[in-house]
Structure 1
Amino acid sequence: MLRRLREWLDRALSPPDLAGLDAPGAGPPEGAPEPPGDDDVVVMPIEDAIDLHTFAPRDVASVVEEYLHEAQLRGFREVRIIHGRGKGVQRRVVRAVLSRHPAVDGFRDAPASRGGWGATLVWLKPAGGDLAP
């Protein structure tokens, strides 16, 4: 058992074999989709919460603005934005967007059971009226 574990660890921790990566035919198979680039649009389902950990910090403000707009259009009245605790940088960015977004009726820290100060609960105005982000 110990021998098999060591063999597995040796394989898992050894550097990858990079030989032949530039050789013809070494890329993805014919017809495989290209990995998304920086300018590609990624479609995400609109749910009652969004976790911002998966987004680049430079995109957080625009992601939150668009998310709020779409959540309001879909009839959500309360959403949760998960920005994490860290040093509070993402939280400040999120709060700045929330304070000026026309869809927002109010917001506060989430209760401890829903993320505490690592998440913000947002109440949205009913759809209609000024929906521009």
Structure 2
Amino acid sequence: MALYKYADDMALVASVKTSEDLSKYQQAVSNLVQTFEDFLLGLKISKTKEMCCGAVSEADTSLFEPLSIQGRPVEQVQSFRYLETEIDDHLSFANHSNGVYKKALQRLHLLRKLRALNVNKDILTIVYKSLIESILTFNITA
């Protein structure tokens, strides 16, 4: 189980394969909620999402019942955005890749317009690196 935090975004990632794992997961969520309360931080349950990945057998359906925080059910989703990366329950990143492609293509159109106006190549390079390359390389680590 791991807790990933960045600024005001947080993700609790757990592998839940047994009822014992589920109990540990629920306890981790309870501890997190208690920490929020101890430090007088607001937890927006309406913005809290839960995503389950993997195959579910008939015997294991109880492992995928919606989580409840402070008596309110947490919405189960098939995909969500974390740090500007869309993640789906199949971990395919296809929607994210398509979105990045479309955004870069739109900005490439602007670069072509500037080139048609005979803008200096150094300025075109700066525009490319600022508006297009930054999108294509965001969240890529070595």
Specify which structure has the higher proportion of helix.
2
Q: Into which bin does the TM-score normalised by the smaller protein fall?
A: 0.3 to 0.5
TM-score by length of 2: 0.32
- If asked which structure has higher relative contact order (CA below 8 Å, sep 6+), I would say 1
